Amino acid sequence: MNILRLAALSLLLTPLPVHAAPDPHAARIARILKATPLIDGHNDWPEALAERARETRWTMDLTRLDPATYHTDFDRLRAGGVGGQFWSVWVSADLPQVQQVKDTLDQIGMVHNLAARYPQHITLVRTAAQLRAAHKAGRIGSLIGVEGGGQIDGSLAVLRAIASLARPISPSPTAGPSPGPTARPTIRSMTASPRSGKMWCANLIGWACWWTSAMSAKRR
């Protein structure tokens, strides 16, 4: 009898599991994300994979990765409701520029590899209409941004080659100084004298090229 009483008492004293209250906004958030693509403007996953996984990145399973090592995997992209993604293609500005070009093409190839291996998750796009269509089909519309001016090695031929594979974006403050023209898709046409220290523009490969004269800026 005493044993039964002790057993009953232990059951009474056992704390009940605590369940989190349902999020009252979850249904509304889900509706919004289904109707409107949530776009992440900068993700360094290609560079992180190149640095940490090296050659195994081409074939390793990227569905679920250790969060202590990577901030991104496909499970988390899906759980976060990401509808559009700019993959940042960044390499160190301390590298020789020829090596920067090689590593840039390597990372662009990695993004194309992601799209080929995981077509159920991502689709490469180049326009807003294509991104909306990918989102409507349940996939993450993916764009590629080449980040540093040194990654074209001062060559318009390299810029044209990259443009056939990815959409260039303006260099970030951490990407190192640009050796010459870099692409900026948001500027379509603009003219000014290089001597003024402002910018000149030429319609090359569909994007405007811009250049700021540091020496002219110093003279002002």
What pLDDT score was predicted for residue 21? 74
Percent of the chain with pLDDT strictly greater than 90: 54
Q: Is the pLDDT of residue 98 over 70?
A: yes
Task: Compute the distance between CA of residue 110 and CA of residue 72 in angstroms, rounded to an integer.
Answer: 15
Could you please report the per-residue DSSP string of 123-178? EE-SSHHHHHHHHHTTSEEEEEEE--GGGGTT-HHHHHHHHTTSEE-PPPTTS---
Task: With beta carbons less than 8 A apart as the criterion, state whether 170 and 184 touch.
Answer: yes
Class of CATH domain 26-177: alpha beta
Task: With beta carbons less than 8 A apart as the criterion, state whether 37 and 131 touch.
Answer: yes
Tens-digit pLDDT profile for residues 143-185: 998 888 889 998 989 988 888 887 544 444 444 444 444 333 3
Q: Is 103 helix (H, G, I), strand (E, B) or coil?
A: helix
Tens-digit pLDDT profile for residues 198-210: 333 333 333 333 3
In the structure encoding, which two tokens stand for residue 74, read together? 């496909």
Identity of the amino acid at 151: Q
Give domain limits for the chain: 26-177, 186-220
